[in-house]
Amino acid sequence: MLWGYLMGNLDGIVRICFSTNALVTGIVTIGLITLITYFAFALEKKISVASPFLEKITVNLSEMGLLLIGSLIVEQVFGSLTGGSAIELGGLYANAELTLLFYCLFVFNNRLIVLMNIALPFIYHPAFDIVRMKNQYWPLFIIAYIVLVIVIDYLYGHKDDLIVSNYKYLIAQILFGICWWILIWIDYRFPLTDIIGMLIVFEIYMLVVRIIEQKMSTYMHAYNDLEVKVNYDALTGVRNRANLNKLSKEAFEKYSKNSKEPLTVIMFDIDHFKKFNDNYGHEIGDEVLRHVAHVAERELHMDGSNGQLFRYGGEEFIIMIKGTDSQHSTNFINGINQTLIEMPLFIQDTQLNVTLCFGVTTLRATDKSFDDIFQRVDGYLYESKNTGRNKMTVEGEAQEYSVQPIIHI
């Protein structure tokens, strides 16, 4: 019976699906989805589980803002459309909004958007549900709403499954569309032909959106991989020399204009590194480099310093620490040395005693560029080498490490 009804009203369904207004709506919606996808990758990269609460809230509010701006743009577009019946334009407008709601729920890990999706069926209706709950279809409303909440919860909690599973994504979007169009039908009683046509249009929109999301995801991940290759050292995983060249210029420009905030540069290398390669082979030498980089990164994290570690080349590394002067940086250097003592590297049951030389300096008012800082800290590093190694030279003064005794229990 339903099949016969569909065949008898096929012309009306096709007219809705392929009208000029539907095409305009699709183009605008897909354009917004493309922008949202780009910003989703950019924003979600900024936060993690360990991110500060204020930072998470800022990102979540920014994502909500994107959704609201997208909704306002859709509203303005429909305000300029004059062709088509009120039912057709209203249905296409609802589809555009539903597409934005579903997609933002899918790409953003945002509880505010989840709550908005859950609350929206109760707040969009002009009668605020009083009329709705008095009509004979209120049980259908309750069932559709419960299924919708289940779909929303699944979307929020199983994003990884939906990203890799096309059929789960398809089922979720179909149920989302059906539930919403049942709610809309209860409130506005659009003809069944229009409802079916609009549901088909929604699924077409979401199919195109899925293709765009997958393509952009591939491109964005490829871009991220390229960014890692360009800015990070493949052997140790820390930032590389090219990244140092970029960030050092930016840091100099900022801190040379602000005399109240110090910028400290630390340069260090591994004592007698050539012996590790000669005695144990280059693979062991690589392990030593990775071990030292890991210890320095660990101490940066433990110290809470606003510092960045770079592999300058060979066995040489550079650290830029913002907001800390050279004297206070000695605590951090002592921490690296202490950790190397307490956590030695073992290779083939042999303990490798790794020691480092450091040069330390802070940005001065007389420095004309970062090269001035680099030349100075490089000279301090060589002073440490020439005075016996396994020590640090801070602003021209050679110092021994402060070593804490190891307590064996």
Q: What is the pLDDT, as a whole number, of residue 127? A: 47
Q: What is the pLDDT, as a whole number, of residue 91? A: 67
Name the most confidently modeled range: 19-23, 99-103, 286-290: 286-290
Query: Which band of pLDDT confidence, cut at 50, 70 and 90, is reported for residue 111?
Result: confident
Pairing of strands 392-394, 356-362: parallel
Residue 330 has pLDDT above 70, yes or no: yes
Q: What is the pLDDT of residues 56-83, one digit of tens each?
A: 788 778 888 888 888 888 777 776 665 5
Instruction: Give the residue from 188, 151, 149 showing the smallest Cα distance to 169.
Output: 151
Q: What is the pLDDT of residues 9-19, one digit of tens each?
A: 444 444 544 45
SS3 278: helix
Written as one string, the DSSP assignment of 113-181 is HHHHHHHHHHHSSTTTTHHHHHSTTHHHHHHHHHHHHHHHHHHHH-HHHHHH-HHHHHHHHHHHHHHHH
Q: In angstroms, how far is the first alpha carbon of the chain from the final one?
A: 83
Buried b (16+ CB within 10 A) or exposed e, 293-312: bbbbbebbeebebebbbbbb
The residue ranking higher by pLDDT, 136 or 117, is 117
Query: Which band of pLDDT confidence, cut at 50, 70 and 90, is reported for residue 408?
Result: very low
Q: Could you tell me if 101 and 172 are in contact, meaning their C-beta atoms sit under 8 angstroms apart?
A: no
Using alpha carbons, list the distances in angstroms from residue 360 to 184, 307, 393.
Answer: 68, 14, 6
Q: What is the pLDDT, as a whole number, of residue 357? A: 94
Q: What is the pLDDT, as a whole number, of residue 360? A: 94
Least-confidence region, from 23-32, 156-165, 199-208, 288-297: 23-32
Q: What is the pLDDT, as a whole number, of residue 24? A: 66
Least-confidence region, from 20-34, 109-123, 164-178: 20-34
Catalytic entry in 63, 250, 315, 342: 315
The residue ranking higher by pLDDT, 253 or 48, is 253
Name the most confidently modeled range: 92-106, 296-310, 330-344, 370-384: 370-384
Q: What is the pLDDT, as a whole number, of residue 47? A: 58
Structural domains of the chain in order of their starting residue, each with its CATH number: 2-231 (no CATH), 241-399 (3.30.70.270)
Q: Structure pTM?
A: 0.54
Q: What is the pLDDT, as a whole number, of residue 405? A: 54
Phi, psi (deg, nearest 5) at residue 323:
85, 10
Q: What is the pLDDT, as a whole number, of residue 52? A: 65
Least-confidence region, from 138-152, 264-278, 293-307: 293-307
315 annotated active-site: yes
Q: What is the pLDDT of residues 307-328, one digit of tens each?
A: 899 999 889 999 999 888 877 8
Quote the DSSP letter at residue 50: T
Least-confidence region, from 79-93, 156-170, 295-309, 337-351: 79-93
Residues 88 and 26: their CA atoms lie apart, in Å, by: 14
Average pLDDT across the chain, whole number: 79
The residue ranking higher by pLDDT, 274 or 406, is 274
Which residue type occupies 69? I
The residue ranking higher by pLDDT, 9 or 332, is 332
Q: What is the pLDDT, as a whole number, of residue 270? A: 93
Q: What is the pLDDT, as a whole number, of residue 309? A: 93
Q: What is the pLDDT of residues 337-380, one digit of tens each?
A: 999 988 888 877 788 889 999 999 999 989 999 999 999 999 99
Residue 121 has pLDDT above 60, yes or no: yes
